[in-house]
Structure 1
């Protein structure tokens, strides 16, 4: 197993190779600037001072980071965002299934960035999802969260989905309870529906009923019949036929196509009142 230091050194070397030509061009340009920046007249101290100032500006644009006792140029500004994303995706796909290796690669990749590249990482996650790399997605998102980044419902949704696809429903349930489940009045229905589906597919029936009742406690109405059907099926499997019948009666409008997601009678009553008004001639 490669150590974190070895991974970082290897990544730094590979990234540097991506920009060797660009660096050569910039270095040549810098040398030309130095020649034009040195005064033609003046004592040795003035000339030395001019060189130091120009050299300092150049080193600032090629900031170096110590890795393993060596110095590598910062290449973040010399590599396109697309190349960085592709490089990281390929690196993650080539790594063995090791948390230490994945975290080390991610640490090395962001080490070249001045700001945490959350936008680029989201693109990386989308590419990994297209490859159905669910286990790797879980590792990347957990690494992001460990850095205090990506704490959004969108990231949570992607993590729960990936955990489910990676056959880790219990872990998805634990994450839900820890980060999301205590605030059901504001959790998007899209995410709630996903969690209900996770419970449904993995036969975690008591958890499914508990979640749905928690949503109802906040007077939140399901937006589509598939959610109600899953709850009804769960009641039937558990032997609660009376509760199933009451549920289907309560949300029957969803199955007849008249439910619009609004409180009962709010919008449906308006056309009826309008029909009673005399028509103008």
Structure 2
């Protein structure tokens, strides 16, 4: 068994800025591996929590994977139709807003409960973009 010595490498230990790109790449690899593992666990019925769903929706948004976000959102709607957090509705509306999808914003808004002011502004803007200010 090998003991950790002074030369042990820590991901965020900052000794020089030259390796910062490599540190970011290492972190990205860790996050992708973790995301893949979580997706697998989710497919097996594990870690199916609102927090996990929210994290996946955010990750899909950041990676421009709108179709996968939509599929997950449909799963959430059909599985937890009476107990979805307002935060998840806001997350989906933000995702659709980020990707300029006003029809999807309104569709999501029609399914949800009372939203925060920032999310309501996104819904109003979606109606305006569609020329439906009267609604």
**Shared fold, TM over 0.5:** yes
Choose from 117, 121, 125 the match for 1:225: 117
Q: Are 1:198 and 2:95 counterparts?
A: yes
Q: Gaps spanning 5+ residues in structure 2: where? A: 4-10, 12-24
Give the length in aligned residue pairs. Answer: 114
| 1:242 alignment partner, SS class | coil
Choose from 79, 82, 95 the match for 1:185: 82
Choose from 69, 72, 81 the match for 1:175: 72
> What are the within-5 Å matches in structure 2 for residues 64-143 of structure 1?
135-143=32-40
Distance 1:209 1:132 in 2: 36
Query: TM-score, normalised on structure 1?
Result: 0.37
Query: TM-score, normalised on structure 2?
Result: 0.72
- Segments of 4+ in structure 1 off by > 4 A? 131-137
Deviation track 1:225-260 (CA, whole Å, cap 9, x = no partner) reads 1111000000000010111xxxxxxxxxxxxxxxxx
Instruction: Check conservation: 1:209, 1:231, Cα contact below 8 A.
Output: yes
Shift of the alpha carbon at 1:136? 4.2
Shift of the alpha carbon at 1:135? 4.4
Shift of the alpha carbon at 1:146? 3.3
Q: Which has the higher contact order (CA 8 A, sep 6+)?
A: 2
Structure ID, larger Rg: 1
Distance 1:239-1:151 versus aligned 2 partners, 3 A rule: same
Distance 1:208 1:134 in 2: 29
Distance 1:133 1:190 in 2: 26
Choose from 108, 124, 127 the match for 1:211: 108
Distance 1:197-1:132 versus aligned 2 partners, 3 A rule: farther
Distance 2:120 2:101 in 1: 16
